Chain A
Amino acid sequence: MSSTPPGGQRTLQKRRQAQAAKDNKAKQTPTSTRSAGFGGSSNSILKIFTDEANGLRVDPLVVLFLAVGFIFSVVALHVISKVTGRIF
């Protein structure tokens, strides 16, 4: 049993420490989008794109068509290089 009387310096110090710990906790920013509560990567899943940022907005279907278009453009390059013998 401790024999120190209650109150005094030590109680003040304890209170200050508790307050500091509380402040520290409040100041901490979340470590990931999920811990901030907005989805994103979890412990076994990597997610990179979860928010809609500013930028050149495109529709997903447009992206799919462009991707297919890109593949066809490379196929076209193959055909051109086949026909002309070598590419330029």
Chain B
Amino acid sequence: MAGFRLIDTVKPFLPFLPEVELPYEKLQFDDKVLYTVFIGLIYLFAQLPLAGIEKDIVPTINDPIYFLRGAFAAEPRSLLEFGIFPIFSTGLIMQLLAGLKVIKVNFKLQKDRELFQSFTKLMIFVQYFIFANVFILAGYYGTGLTIFQIAVLNFQLVGAGVVATLLVEIIDKGFGFTSGPMVINTIAIATNTIADIIGVSQIKIDDEGHTEAQGALINLVQGFRAKHKTILGSIVSAFNRDYLPNLTTAVIVLIIGAVVCYFQNFRVELPIRSTRARASNTVYPVRLLNVASLSLSFSYSLLFYIHMTAFALLTLVGKNDPSNIVCKILGHYENVNNILAVPTFPLSMFAPPRSFFGGLVQAPLSFVVFPAFIIVTGVWFAYKWQGISGQSARDLAVDFKEQGLTLAGRREQNVAKELDKPISLASATGAAVLAAIAIAGELLGLKGKATSMVIGICGGFSLLELITLDYQQNGSGSSLSQVLGAPTNM
């Protein structure tokens, strides 16, 4: 069939796909705050443990994606086992493919845009279903599950996926602020970071029933009162325990956050002038972190797919048996601390080491391949994405022309070309810088916390920028103006 298009395949499923209505009119600033906060809360509450699996099961396989969870707000053994990963990755990759004309979509047509969106949604649901069942069949939730237990697990995992997708959709459609996946991601990352530092929840750590606080700082304070440990021992343990967040990682994560904040202000200022009025010279800023957190999210999406595919192959086909042919080629999983399933060579090349020195000895190649993978995919994505996202040099040149602006000292016909140089360079460099910061943290053994911090801070800044703009334009009647200050509209 000549006119076959991938997005048309969604048509038979359309009547079953839930679709949130668009708001009749633009929502008030306060309503948006309410929606966003409530959706964030619902998402956080949905991180409750799965029902239907026994407490004291010995799973045949542990958590194989522990270092990818932070970037996608996923909590192990909870309803949100995969967090918003399918949403984020499908959205990114589908839009990238459409922009590169791999998938044929004409975004000018309403019908095409709707089909594209529905297709993305269908793919998201399908992925939640596949991932859930790969985990169930691999024995992650224990072996010998009855049919009924499998059905209950499916109901919970896929149901939570559908709920998460719809929550994202509500924010996306204008009931909340800007972008659903990024808002939820930022909220979850912020909550986790705080919980890692000052979380007071007590977690059982050994068979004798001793508990330790989740928060690194709280744990240090509690260590002084603990009867079963010496003071010195508890201080040392507060800095180097590896089953729960420790103070060393907390400090590194905070430093990484500070470094990302510092890079937020890097920009090139291009002098522009008006073509209509004389002597009105201003600057147009091109930020270094032009593509912000999306490049890192893309790299991690690819990593997630690699590891999910490898996990499915190794556990379902190879049975995680080192003598099996599949496991001989790809490596197998080793049980660490009874929580993590750590891949061995060669799959380990695509995973960050669990500790810096241990990693240097055991898996030196992951110090080369993993950073290279993150940087190369990140830079490639940033370069492509800035061209297709609708704010490329060409689109900007059109905007400039409409507003009667031009670059000072350049020919007006060449604005697009002249803009393209700094913008594409900044995007690629910014992506490389972000990747380098995240990798520096990951190689120190942060198990995904460094990346989540970079994504969280960067995403937070991108959102803040648009929310502030929204506040300036629509915040005049806001009852929050006491707290946020009166909106200053220019």
* A interface residues (Cβ-Cβ under 8 A, vs B): 29-36, 38, 40-60, 63-64, 66-68, 70-71, 74-75, 77-78, 80-81, 86-88
Q: Could you list 7 A-B pairs, sorted by A, with CB under 8 Å?
A: A29-B108, A33-B390, A45-B178, A51-B114, A70-B160, A71-B48, A71-B79
Asked if B385 lies at the interface with its beta carbon under 8 angstroms from chain A, I say yes
Q: Is the CB of A71 within 8 A of B14?
A: no
Q: A43-B292, A47-B172 are in contact. List 10 more A-B contacts (CB 8 A).
A: A29-B101, A31-B101, A32-B95, A41-B179, A50-B172, A53-B17, A54-B14, A60-B173, A64-B38, A70-B163
B387 to chain A, nearest CB (A): 7
Which residues of the partner chain A approach B169 to less than 8 Å between Cβ atoms? Answer: 48-49
Asked if B357 lies at the interface with its beta carbon under 8 angstroms from chain A, I say no
Which residues of the partner chain A approach B51 to less than 8 Å between Cβ atoms? Answer: 74, 77-78, 80-81, 87
B263 to chain A, nearest CB (A): 13
Which residues of the partner chain B approach A52 to less than 8 Å between Cβ atoms? Answer: 19, 21-22, 114, 173
Q: How many Å lie between the Cα of A68 and that of B390 in the bound state?
A: 36
Q: How many Å lie between the Cα of A33 and that of B108 in the bound state?
A: 8
Q: Among B144-152, B240-248, B360-368, B437-445, which stretch is in contact with chain A? A: B144-152
Q: Is the CB of B163 within 8 A of A46?
A: no
Q: Is the CB of A32 within 8 A of B389?
A: yes
Which residues of the partner chain B approach A51 to less than 8 Å between Cβ atoms? Answer: 110, 113-114, 117
Instruction: Give the residue of A29, A31, A49 whose beta carbon is less than 8 angstroms from that of B117.
Output: A49
Interface of A is mostly: loop
A46 to chain B, nearest CB (A): 6
Interface of B is mostly: helix
Asked if B322 lies at the interface with its beta carbon under 8 angstroms from chain A, I say no
Q: Is the CB of A60 within 8 A of B168?
A: no
Q: How many Å lie between the Cα of A84 and that of B156 in the bound state?
A: 19
Q: Among B84-92, B216-224, B273-281, which stretch is in contact with chain A? A: B84-92
Which residues of the partner chain B approach A74 to less than 8 Å between Cβ atoms? Answer: 48, 50-51, 79, 156
Q: How many Å lie between the Cα of A68 and that of B44 in the bound state?
A: 11
Q: How many Å lie between the Cα of A45 and that of B180 in the bound state?
A: 10
Asked if B206 lies at the interface with its beta carbon under 8 angstroms from chain A, I say no
Q: How many Å lie between the Cα of A48 and that of B45 in the bound state?
A: 23
Q: Is the CB of B107 within 8 A of A87?
A: no
Q: Is the CB of B115 within 8 A of A53?
A: yes
B270 to chain A, nearest CB (A): 16
B432 to chain A, nearest CB (A): 16
A47 to chain B, nearest CB (A): 5
Q: Which residue of A lies closest to B100 (CB)?
A: A31
Asked if B466 lies at the interface with its beta carbon under 8 angstroms from chain A, I say yes
Asked if B54 lies at the interface with its beta carbon under 8 angstroms from chain A, I say yes
A15 to chain B, nearest CB (A): 19
Q: Is the CB of B462 within 8 A of A58?
A: no
Which of A66, A71, A77 has most B Cβ within 10 Å? Answer: A71
Q: Is the CB of B39 within 8 A of A43?
A: no
Q: Is the CB of B290 within 8 A of A63?
A: no
Instruction: Give the residue of A42, A64, A70 whose beta carbon is less than 8 angstroms from that of B391.
Output: A42
Which residues of the partner chain B approach A49 to less than 8 Å between Cβ atoms? Answer: 20, 117, 121, 168-169, 172-173, 180
Q: Is the CB of A35 within 8 A of B118?
A: no
Which of B19, B45, B297 has most A Cβ within 10 Å? Answer: B19
B444 to chain A, nearest CB (A): 27
Q: Is the CB of B46 within 8 A of A36?
A: no
Interface string of B365-392 (1 = CB under 8 A from A): 0000000000000000000011111111
Which residues of the partner chain B approach A42 to less than 8 Å between Cβ atoms? Answer: 389-391
Q: Which residue of B lies closest to A60 (CB)?
A: B170
Q: Is the CB of A43 within 8 A of B290?
A: yes
Q: Is the CB of B95 within 8 A of A63?
A: no
Interface string of B135-160 (1 = CB under 8 A from A): 00000000000101100100010011
Q: How many Å lie between the Cα of A52 and that of B100 in the bound state?
A: 24
Q: How many Å lie between the Cα of A44 and that of B106 in the bound state?
A: 22
Q: Is the CB of A48 within 8 A of B386?
A: no
B14 to chain A, nearest CB (A): 5
Q: Is the CB of A67 within 8 A of B42?
A: yes
Q: How many Å lie between the Cα of A81 and that of B53 in the bound state?
A: 9
Q: Is the CB of B35 within 8 A of A60?
A: yes
